[in-house]
Amino acid sequence: MQFALDEDRALLARSTRELLEKEAPLATNRQIMESEPSGYSKALFRQLGELGYPSLLLSEDEGGLGPIAFAAVLQEMGRVALPGPFLDLALAIKLLAGSSEDAAKKWLARASAGEALVVLARGESLASGDPSAASARFTNGRVQGLKRFVPFGAEADAWIVETSSGLALVERPTSGWNAKALPTIDHAQRFAELVLDTPGVLLCDAAAARGVLDDVDRLGALGASALLLGLSERALEITVAYTMERQAFGVPIASFQALQHRAADMLLQTESTRAAVYRAAFAAEHQPEQAAYLIAVAKAWAGPAARLVCGEAVQMHGGVGFTWEYDPHVYLKRVKTLEQFYGSTRAQLDRVLHARGW
Amino acid sequence: MDLRFTPEQEKFRAEVRAWLGANLERPWSQEVRDPKHDASSLVEVRRAWQKKLLAAGFLGMGWPREWGGRGATAIEEAIFTEELYRADAPQVPNFLGISLLCPALIHHGTEEQRRRFIPKILDCSEIWCQGFSEPGSGSDLASLRARAEPDGEHFRIYGQKVWTTFGPWADWIFVLARTDMEDRYGGITFFLMPIAQKGVEMRGIRQITGESEFGEVFFDGGLARREHIVGKIGEGWKVAMTLLGYERGGSTLAYPAEYDRYLGGLADGLRENGTLARADVREKLARLVVENEVMRGNGMRNLANIASGNAPGAESSIEKIFWSEYAKRLTDTALDLLGPQAQLRDTQPQARPDVNWAYEFLWSRAGTIYSGSSEIQRNIIAKRVLRMPTK
């Protein structure tokens, strides 16, 4: 038994941290969140594409490194609250890699190189982050319908749209579509509401789509859990650092037991998330029979745990924790999105019981 | 990264499981609800079980071969304990002797002490208890005041010990007492004493479960022989810290295995009551399943780290907080969801047939207090891991 990453993956994690600390520290990311109309740095995403990051989730045969490496990279992106559609792009690439359609191959090549953004367009409800049966239609080569909470939907060059007839690839047309922003509290992820009446190519029928989407949903939950791990880890670090600096009654507030016990709980939650995320990632790579269950466990744990940790980060910063200027709120807001999408906590809890036969 | 057990480890697990299938007559939760038993006859069931484990070579597996060990790895020990908990096997009566005193004797004892005490600990002909805590010294153990007064070459012990687990059935006690009243750490010495002697009185303390599983000991000049001091005079604190370091090893996968069995019992009960399909019930059950599985993940990580040669650090504090606080949430929720049936005493025929919920609910209150309370564990994490300063 060994928990530590092997040499290749440890090196990848280290070089990713160095890259992000240089190119995308939180201060830079916050400027982009507030001033960049697309909500992310396209230059950085091109760089990530050149380095092969977007196709990391693919198996080693397909030119990727697999789920463990993927989790290690997303953990790093969580630490800096990286804005942008990295996870969404990786999931679309995974889906495209499984299709033999020409259109899929073309977009796979462009998306993998970081030249194009492809995202999934699935949900239709305002009341749930978990897509239910699609009412968008695919008829006579056209996709028609309404899609909501499409991640970076207004920025994407192509969408993979879930319709009642299956998954359809839609290239961003010049007309026949309409996007409205659905801005949530999260600064790092933009969402759009899409109204489509556009040409598309069916990638697979509804029956085949179910299997494909189950796979993508699992990997999405794993990726979101790894982001949540990175967010928790960094929120704890900045909070402890703040309590060491901040003085009250002539001593650092870190010396107060009330705060020490809160911080200890944050560590317990974060370290438990780490164990759960990598156990799930290991299963996704090596133990397929356990992967669905362990990924559901990881996501159902990581969301509430990160919310607790990042909520405590706000609390332990005191008044400045409630200001726009300080960072804890960026983490807390990011957590809320990741908790509700990529398989909400409630959906994961259902999966857990289902897997146990209860 | 590899979180799988090796084929050899899986083979060992299969052997343990087969042995338990052939040798465990009935689960402990069934044993305790047999009306023919009282507290003392249950101790005899446990004594007989310990002898079976000894004969099969399962006691002190990680010790040197000379002392009955088989050089088992930490992972094998964890697998073994996990299987014991999964099967609901009785706890051996001499768990304090085996898990605490024997390692102390192996590390700090004399050859004579090892020969005199270890065989009788293993065959359970002498049951041991621990005399550390005092009415005024719990979490702050080093403030203990029991004193050892020289009497010729030996010592006489005066003072009181409390929360003496298994004391009412014990034959011997290992005691921390002061040979120097001023020196906080260096004034403590580690004594081994028989309980059946003048000047030592053991009294049971009735617990919230109704039983007297622990006791208090009054020392009024009981004899502690010089040859029964472990380590040197004044080294008691060092010896005690060595053995407390052993206290939380090995069981890292055991609690999740036990709680998984409880969760199965809870799901069965909910299905029988027709409430398993209710959304509110499902959410509560699912959260408990998730938390227990995360605990198991923590355990696997700890085990993997120990197997890679890293000394366990703050992980043991996280583990202690996790399992003890989880046990409260689990039993609280079970009593809530299963209704008053779960409050029935386990000897009632109408009680739930598998888990002794009422007892476990009450017993779970102890876990966050003993062996370093949750508050102490949080202090340890804050200071040793997060490096937060003391005022």
DSSP B50-75: HHHHHHTT-SSTTS-GGGT-----HH
By CB atoms closer than 10 A (0-12, 13-18, 19+), residue A330 is buried
Separation of alpha carbons A254 and A235, rounded Å: 15
* CATH number of the structural domain B7-92: 1.10.540.10
Angle at A74 between CA A72 and CA A76, to 5 degrees: 75
Do B333 and B321 meet the contact criterion of CB atoms below 8 Å apart? no
User: What pLDDT is attached to residue B310?
Assistant: 76
CATH of domain A118-205: 2.40.110.10
- What SS3 state is found at B244? helix
**How far is Cα A57 from Cα A79, in angstroms, rounded to an integer?**
19
CATH placement of domain B128-242: 2.40.110.10
- Contacts with B75 (C-beta within 8 Å, 6 or more apart), sequence order: A1, B5, B9, B303, B306, B307
Interface test with A, best of B281, B287, B388, B390 (most A CBs within 10 A): B388
- The candidate with the shortest Cα–Cα distance to A159, out of A201, A124, A129, A131, is A201
Report yes or no: B314 and B380 within 8 Å, Cβ to Cβ.
Answer: yes
Is there a catalytic annotation at residue B283? no
Backbone angles phi, psi at A317, to 5 degrees: -80, -10
C-alpha of A244 from chain center: 31
Is residue A120 scored above 60 in pLDDT?
A: yes
For residue B247, what pLDDT is reported? 47
Which residue of B9, B76, B289, B300 to mutate against A (max A Cβ within 10 Å)?
B289
Which residues of chain B lie closer than 8 angstroms to A9, CB-CB? Answer: 1
* pLDDT, mean of residues A305-318: 98
Decide if A154 contacts A192 (C-beta within 8 A). yes
B286 vs A272, A286, A349: nearest CB = A349
pLDDT interval class at B246 (50, 70, 90): low
Question: What confidence score (pLDDT) does residue B245 get?
Answer: 65
CA-to-CA dists, residue A16 to A11, A12, A77, B336, angstroms: 8, 6, 8, 47
The answer on pLDDT for B345 being more than 70 is: yes
> Do A150 and A163 contact (CB within 8 A), yes or no?
no
**In chain B, ranges of CATH 1.20.140.10 domains:** 248-385
Give the span between the Cα atoms of A194 and B373, in whole angstroms.
55
**A69 to chain B: which residues are within 8 Å by CB?**
none
Mean pLDDT of B268-294: 97
- What's the order of all strands across the beta sheet hosting A166-171? A118-121, A158-163, A166-171, A201-205
Contacts of A356 in chain B (CB under 8 A): 267, 289
Domain with CATH 1.10.540.10 in chain B: 7-92
Give the integer Cα–Cα distance in Å for A109 and A209: 21
CATH architecture of the domain with residue range A7-112: Orthogonal Bundle (1.10)
Tell which B residues from 248 to 277 touch A, by Cβ distance under 8 Å.
Answer: 267, 271, 276
Q: Residue B382: what pLDDT?
A: 96
Q: Which superfamily is assigned to A209-356 in CATH? A: Butyryl-CoA Dehydrogenase, subunit A, domain 3 (1.20.140.10)
Contacts A8 to B, Cβ<8 Å: none
Structure confidence at residue B70 as a pLDDT band (50, 70, 90): confident
Mean pLDDT across B260-278: 97
pLDDT at A221: 98
Q: Is the separation of the CB atoms in B286 and A353 below 8 Å? A: yes
Could you read off the pLDDT of A186-243 as tens digits, one per residue? 999 999 999 999 999 999 999 999 999 999 999 999 999 999 999 999 999 999 999 9
What percent of chain A is predicted at pLDDT more than 90? 98
Amino acid identity for residue B3 in this structure: L
* Residues comprising chain B, all counted: 391
Q: CB–CB of B286 and A244 under 8 A?
A: no
Res A263 pLDDT > 70: yes
Mean pLDDT of A70-87: 98
Q: Hey, which residues 347-386 in chain B have their CB within 8 Å of chain A?
A: 375, 377-379, 381-383, 385-386
Q: What is the pLDDT of residues A14-27, one digit of tens each?
A: 999 999 999 999 99
User: Across all residues in chain A, what is the average pLDDT?
Assistant: 97
Task: Pull the structure tokens for residue A87.
Answer: 């996870």
Q: Where are the domains of chain A?
A: 7-112, 118-205, 209-356
| Mean pLDDT score, B315-337 | 95
| CATH T-level topology, domain B248-385 | Butyryl-CoA Dehydrogenase, subunit A; domain 3 (1.20.140)
Contact B378 A278 (CB under 8 A): no
Whether A124 has a pLDDT exceeding 90, the answer reads: yes
For the stretch B263-285, what's the b/e string if a residue is b when 16 or more beta carbons lie within 10 angstroms of its beta carbon?
bebbbbbbeeeebbeeeebbebb
Q: b or e along A28-54 (b: 16 or more beta carbons within 10 Å of the residue's beta carbon)?
A: bbbebbeeeebbbbeebbeebbeeebb
pLDDT digits (tens, 9 = 90+) for B169-209: 999 999 999 999 999 999 999 999 999 999 999 999 999 99
Handedness of CA B381, B363, B81, B120 (dihedral sign): positive
pLDDT of residue B249: 56
Which pair of structure tokens corresponds to residue B198?
């003048």
State yes or no: pLDDT of B248 exceeds 70.
no
DSSP secondary structure, A161-211, as one string: EEETTEEEEEE--SSSEEEEE---S-SS--EEEEEEEEE-EEEEEHHHHHH
Q: Taking 80 as the threshold, does the pLDDT of residue B57 lie above it?
A: yes
Report CA B202 to chain centroid distance, whole Å: 20
Half-sphere exposure of B368 (CA within 13 A, CB side): 15
What is the mean pLDDT of the segment spanning A111-128?
96
Give Rg (Cα) of chain B: 22
Mean pLDDT for the stretch of residues B250-256 = 88
